[in-house]
Structure 1
Amino acid sequence: MPETSPTVAASPLPPLTSQAERLIELGVHELAGVPADDLRAVAEGAGPADGGALLTLHPDRAPASALAPLLRRAGKPGFVVTDMSDVDRFTPCAVDLSDAPVHVVTGLDRGDHMANWSPEEALPAIAAQGRTPLLLTEGIHWVLQQPAILERGHCFMTIGSRLRKADGALDARTPALWISNGTGRDGRERRDAPKVGWCWWGNRHTWLGFASATDRRG
């Protein structure tokens, strides 16, 4: 197993009520077909959570392809890599997610201590800690609310979302959020933009942790 380093503590998330207003400002509630007042009611009713909490929309309501362009960094919008046109087929896998349109995710951790682990190594370790890996859409919501959580050298994978192929096998790609270098098919104009991409199930990357949470409720 790779050596680990301590996780860098994130600054507190905004209150859930402020997060609701942020999503409403971006039009995410309309995208998801959730009335603004319903989103506000969930935020107000959830109450405070130790270590902060994240307000998210169900991926069936607000898919990654629609959320990614709402991300901003260095004045540039987020994007999905060109070879991940099937991004919305990456659905919850081995994650307990209700059908509720709005969820509250608690105890977020970027997973820096798992940098240089492969997804194959990280998933059982996360489960053994009694934690749950973040979904791709949850990771995008996190960056929408707290852009600074995505920083060079400390980005993260969201291995709670996987693509199941027609034969039932899982696709070897695993989704992640990081910052574009503006190389290759990204294009120079996208340098420093937030990026939704993927890595192989068995590969390690020194700059990618594994985002997880203690609980999600909805």
Structure 2
Amino acid sequence: MVQVQAGGTAEFDAGGEFDRQVARLLEAGYPAVAGVPEEEFAARVAPLRQVVVDRAAELSAPEPENGRVPFLLVVSRALVPVEEAVARTTLAGKSKPGIVDRHYKPGELERFTTLEELRPAGEPAAHLLFGVERGEEFCGAVPADAMAEIAGRGRTTLTMEEGLALVTQYPAALAKNKCFSLGATRCGDRRVPALWISEGAPKLGWCWEGNPHTWLGMASADGGVGARVGV
């Protein structure tokens, strides 16, 4: 989404993209799951719109097929539980809802939480995440090594909520042989959550941090100050 300024210069319409992401969450039924009217839901995230507008000059248009998007509006699991968010994902051009892998035992998802250092201040209801990449360059790499490389670049891995936001807003970002792990959500053991494709739908599963897969990369985002802005 771009807008053309005077003189013919094209600039990414960050405000318009923010509005589209809010509309997508409304369409997916996020307010009903959160137990609030649509108007209240939209009002709660509205302050974040100015953040992306102020940063528009440094943002580029989304390229979901290439696994890169400028920012994501991410809703906290306190408002929309992970299981509900998974069920509101689909693949591009498909309607079959996402599922949680059976290897997560009943109630176990609650044990997988965001790493302390990556939690936006104040435990916000929603936050923005900038400079997102699905990380297919790490397909075939040992997840632990991929996470170390990402950290060395000054970037951060994605949480479950952030990975689900990516697929919710950009279904084309999850593609055959271009699936991704979510290393910023852990439960204290060697399991690393991941999103992949199963039977024509997204699936939230996990893999061991020492086991590489040719079809599974490591998603990451800008790790700088202000990379996660909440409200």
The answer to whether TM tops 0.5 is yes
> SS state of the match for residue 65, structure 1?
helix
2:66 aligns with none
Instruction: Describe how 1:10-25 pairs up with structure 2 within 5 A.
Output: 15-25=17-27
Matching residue within 63, 69, 78 for 1:60: 78
Output the TM-score relative to the length of structure 2.
Answer: 0.76
> How big is the alpha-carbon RMSD for the aligned residues of Structure 1 and Structure 2?
2.0
Instruction: Describe how 1:20-169 pairs up with structure 2 within 5 A.
Output: 20-32=22-34, 35-46=40-51, 47=53, 48=56, 50-51=59-60, 52-73=70-91, 74-85=94-105, 86-93=108-115, 95-98=117-120, 99-163=123-187
Specify the code of the residue in structure 2 equivalent to 1:141: A
Aligned-partner Cα distance in 2 for 1:43–1:63: 21
% identity of equivalent residues: 36
Specify the code of the residue in structure 1 equivalent to 2:162: E
How far off its partner does 1:40 sit? 4.8
Unaligned runs of 5+ in 2: 1-12, 61-69
| Bigger relative contact order (CA 8 A; separation at least 6) | 1
List structure 1 runs of 4+ shifted beyond 6 angstroms. Answer: none
Aligned-partner Cα distance in 2 for 1:90–1:157: 14
Aligned-partner Cα distance in 1 for 2:164–2:126: 15
Aligned-partner Cα distance in 2 for 1:110–1:132: 12
Specify the code of the residue in structure 2 equivalent to 1:117: A
Output the TM-score relative to the length of structure 1.
Answer: 0.81
**Does structure 1 retain, via aligned residues, the 8 Å contact 2:22–2:42?**
no
> SS state of the match for residue 124, structure 1?
helix
1:210 aligns with 218
> SS state of the match for residue 124, structure 2?
coil
**Alignment: residue pair count:** 191
**1:28-56 CA-partner distances (Å, limit 9, x unpaired):** 13433562232451342222351321001
**C-alpha distance 80-152 of structure 1, shift in aligned 2 (>3 A):** same
Unaligned runs of 5+ in 1: 1-11, 164-169, 181-190
Aligned-partner Cα distance in 1 for 2:160–2:137: 19
